[in-house]
Amino acid sequence: MDNSNVTHLGDIEKLAKMCGHIVELDLANNSLASWSDLLQLLNRLPQLRLLNLSINPMLGPKSDSVTHEEKTDAPEKPLKDSECHSQYLVAQPMPHLSTLALNQLPQLSWPMLAGLLSSAPNLTELYLSNNDMEAPDFPCPKIGGYASVQQLYFNGNRLLSEDWTKLSQWFPKLEKLTLIGNSADKLPSSAVSLATEEGSNNTNKDSVVILPLLCNLKSLNLSESEIDSWSELEKLNLCPSLTDLRILDIKFGKGRPKKEFRAEAIARLAHVTHLNGTAVTDEERSAAERSLIRAHTIDLEIKNEPTDLAVAEAPDQLDSLLAKHGRLDALAKVDLRPTQSVSLVLRYGNQSRTCQLATNQLIREVKQKVCDQFNVEPSRVGLYYIDQGMVGAMGPELLNLPGRAFHSYRPEDGDELILKDFN
């Protein structure tokens, strides 16, 4: 029933009889305005597994929620919009609901969401994109948070750098988090000192507790985010399970060659096996890690900068990479492109001269230019080539293929071209 211009649900009892067996309900892109009607319908769909209410801009708190005091009566009598004056939404338990999509609902609030989440104890996928939402500004009403939620899609909202802990309190067991286009320019520091925890007897300042949000995270999408440095991105090395990362069009990567940026990201993030949707092969990782070692050790040493400066600017992974690959010599720069021009010795009889010739010519063109130097008709002479490096082994070579490229002979400065009259 998506995109069907639905404005209200009509007779709830008739709908319930017709639809009581359905497991997926898609009401996206309509004009629904009453949460009370929706909740009454949901109360009568015990098998529901997927619910999509996205893009219903009229759904909001002014006409749509019930108080905690009314919760006991909610299943017993119809709810009137005039009675729905609290922020919380209350529905019958929906034990089978596993996927809930609430994208682009500009009036959606965290208190409203809390009521729905409390009614879906087995919810695993939650879509909250493009709602212009900030992180919740009050503690999660459920002790331990909504731990069943494994995937959260929070694209196009206003998550700030200081909001990670709040999000973690609500969804402590996330395995997949998608944050495309959010405002956060810092990642969570991922750890806090146990010695600062209230009631802790631990005096070891180095003891840490990983932020719950990051403990189980396997997939993270930070594309189009404001993350502004490698040091921020390297915090993800503290996520023990994170293997799938997307960072397309991330702020500090803009303007850098994509291949170079990908290689550096692979080298700096030890656990990532899939980057921007593409698997990281063993060969690609090895090459990226070696390149990073050279960039942060050899280059600095060549510039005669202090060793401690190299360490200070090095990525977090440098010590472990050095232990894995050792110190590496700089790569030799080899240019396999053919030389554009060469200085050759031209000979005809007792005459000789030196001439600069382009190597991108055909043999017939080279022969013509050599003949022009001595005012000789090309048809009267043969053209021979002497490679100075091979002259002892091969002697002069007749260039009798006029359509062959001259550079294919790999001429070098000092080689000779000789004209000999035909007998």
| Full-model pTM | 0.68
Residue 173 exposure: Cα atoms within 13 Å on the Cβ side: 11
pLDDT at 195: 34
Backbone angles phi, psi at 154, to 5 degrees: -125, 45
Give pLDDT < 50 ranges for the chain. 62-86, 191-208, 300-312
pLDDT at 108: 87
| No. of helices (H) and no. of strands (E), the chain | 13, 17
Residue 262 contacts by C-beta under 8 Å, 6 or more apart in sequence? 275, 276, 288
pLDDT at 54: 92
Fold of 341-421: Ubiquitin-like (UB roll) (3.10.20)
Query: How far, in Å, CA of 412 to CA of 347, rounded?
Result: 16
What does the radius of gyration of the chain's CA atoms come to, in whole angstroms? 36
pLDDT at 164: 85
Residue 377 contacts by C-beta under 8 Å, 6 or more apart in sequence? 371
Q: Which amino acid is at 76?
A: E
Among candidate residues 134, 146, 116, 149, the one with its CA nearest the CA of residue 217: 149
Residue 378's Cβ-count burial label (10 Å; 0-12, 13-18, 19+) is: middle
pLDDT at 198: 40
Q: Which amino acid is at 123?
A: L
pLDDT at 194: 34
pLDDT at 88: 63
Among candidate residues 22, 27, 154, 142, the one with its CA nearest the CA of residue 94: 22
What separation in angstroms does the CA of 324 have from each of 274, 365, 416? Answer: 21, 55, 51
